[in-house]
Amino acid sequence: MSDVPHSQVGWLGTGRMGSMLVRRLLGAGIDVVVYNRTKARAEPLAADGAKLADGAVDVAATPVVFVMVGTSENLLEAILGPAGLLAGELAPSVVVDLSTVSVEASAQVRAGLAERGTRFLAAPAMGNPRVAAAGKLTFAVSGPPEAAAEIRPYLDVLGAGASYVGPGEVARTVKLCHNLLLGSVMQSLTEVTVLAEKAGVTRQAFLACINSSVMGSMFTRYKSPALVNLDYHATFTSELLRKDFDLGLAAARAHEVPMPVASLVHQLVQSLVGNGFGQQDFATLIELQARASGLQLVSENAVVPDGLDPPAAGDGPPGSGVPPRSDRGSRDRGSGSGDPDAAGRAGAPAGRSGRAPRRGRAVSPDVPQRDGHQLRGGHAHLRRRRLGLEHFFRLLRLPLPRPRRLLRHRGLLSGGRS
């Protein structure tokens, strides 16, 4: 069993994400008492070893209770409702809420729990069930720091790391900012993907290129299969994203922060719901973008890695489309010997000291030389130096010399007229 302070914990809410996280605790040897409002959704967990409770109040006997629900109203009902966690005489030591809810609802629950002597941590999870299954969820945590330290071992079992961001409800704002960025990035990704496809590039090829570039991320990689194969099986529904945009823009209004890009994406997400995509994954943003662009999308039926499985040694970045090392041919270094420096050494002329030029650099007859040495990388390097000197003269407001005079000034050319 993992190094956790208590061998048994409680859990409220066993939706897609909640069920996945309960299984991670069970897999670590931790006993979990679970309750879900719709009992049928919790029953599959019994086969994995979870103990099913008849009500939220029956979970209160456990020292630590985790909560994963869909809305602020669900959280209030689960904790403070007439049949909620605090409806009986018992109360847990710590309640950890992993949901995405409003700051106001979170503060109300904190106050209600404090009256019973229960500490409360806001620890919204960042990721989806597939990310959770891979053990790569992260958490933003706020509340009493000693409680955060106490439950940290559980969060290490549930995901890949937790960031303590401060007291009270500040983790709620962090998560709302995260999801505002999530929706905005997804919209931008669909726009450029549709542009590339209309220009003749397959979605698979385009996204493989993006994922192997500096712009690639865990998010772009694990959304690539949905965008390529038009698989909109929900990992995060459009309705839930709309809810988070509602909360995030309300927070922006409360703090007088303009959000022009997020406000536009909010309306696009609303369009998703209005067009019947509310219960499908928010990757359906690509459908709206394609319609607006006069493009009929067709699944490419391609095998696309989502980047969540660890790559084999020597493979390229996940989702990059780079073949495994075993499939790659040897690189041609200009010599059949396999020595990367052989091309630079073979036939290189000696300089003033009798030494060959720097290893790995072949000498070209088309590149300016002085005493048998190339002039610092050839014409391109000379051009860069000239531009730098021109900038220097302009800063000093001096007359700008002609190019050959500049080169002679740096000792790169000698003789001849300027």
Cα 379 from Cα 403, distance rounded (Å): 13
- Ranges of beta strands (E only) in 131-282 are 138-142, 161-166
pLDDT at 36 over 50: yes
Does the pLDDT at position 317 exceed 80? no
Domain 8-168 is found in CATH 3.40.50.720: yes
| pLDDT higher than 80, residue 386 | no
Q: Given this model, what pLDDT does residue 355 score?
A: 43
Domain boundaries defined on the chain: 8-168, 174-292, 374-418
Over 60: is that where the pLDDT of 314 sits? no
For residue 341, is pLDDT > 90? no
Long-range CB pairs of 376-382, under 8 A, 24+ apart, other chains included: 376/412, 382/407, 382/412
Q: What does the alpha-carbon distance between residue 124 and residue 201 come to, in Å, rounded to a whole number? A: 38
Helix axes 260-272, 285-292, angle to 10 degrees: 90
Say how far apart CA 167 and CA 144 lie, in whole Å: 6
Question: Rg (Cα) of the chain, in Å, rounded?
Answer: 30
Asked if the model's pLDDT at residue 384 lies above 60, the reply is no
Residue of 225, 6, 283, 24 whose CA lies nearest to 139 = 24
Residue 288 predicted with pLDDT over 50: yes
Enumerate the β-bridge partners of residue 351: none
Whole-number Å distance between alpha carbons of 84 and 81: 5
Band of residue 329 on the pLDDT scale cut at 50, 70, 90: very low
Say if domain 174-292 classifies as CATH 1.10.1040.10.
Answer: yes
Segment 24-31 long-range contacts (CB within 8 Å, at least 24 positions apart)? 24/132, 24/135, 24/157, 24/158, 25/154, 25/157, 25/158, 26/50, 28/1, 28/2, 28/4, 28/157, 29/1, 29/2, 30/1, 30/2, 30/4, 30/154, 30/157, 31/7
pLDDT exceeding 90 applies to what percent of the chain? 69
Name, in order, each residue with C-beta under 8 angstroms of 290's C-beta and a sequence gap of 6 or more.
194, 296, 297
What dihedral do alpha carbons 68, 73, 74, 79 form, nearest 10°?
90
- Compute the average pLDDT of residues 360-379: 42
Q: What is the mean pLDDT of the chain?
A: 83
Parallel, antiparallel or unpaired: strands 138-142 and 125-126: antiparallel
Q: Report which of residues 384 and 13 the model is more confident about.
A: 13
CA separation for the pair 340, 318 (Å, rounded): 28
Helices of type H across 116-164: 129-133, 145-158
> Model confidence at 371, in pLDDT bands (50, 70, 90)?
very low
d(Cα 121, Cα 250) in Å, to the nearest integer?
Answer: 22
The pLDDT of 228-249, averaged and rounded, is 95
Torsion (CA) 66, 74, 86, 27 in degrees, nearest 10: -20
Q: Which range, of 3-17, 117-131, 328-342, averages the lowest pLDDT?
A: 328-342
- Residue 392 reports pLDDT greater than 60: no
Share of the chain above pLDDT 70, in %: 73
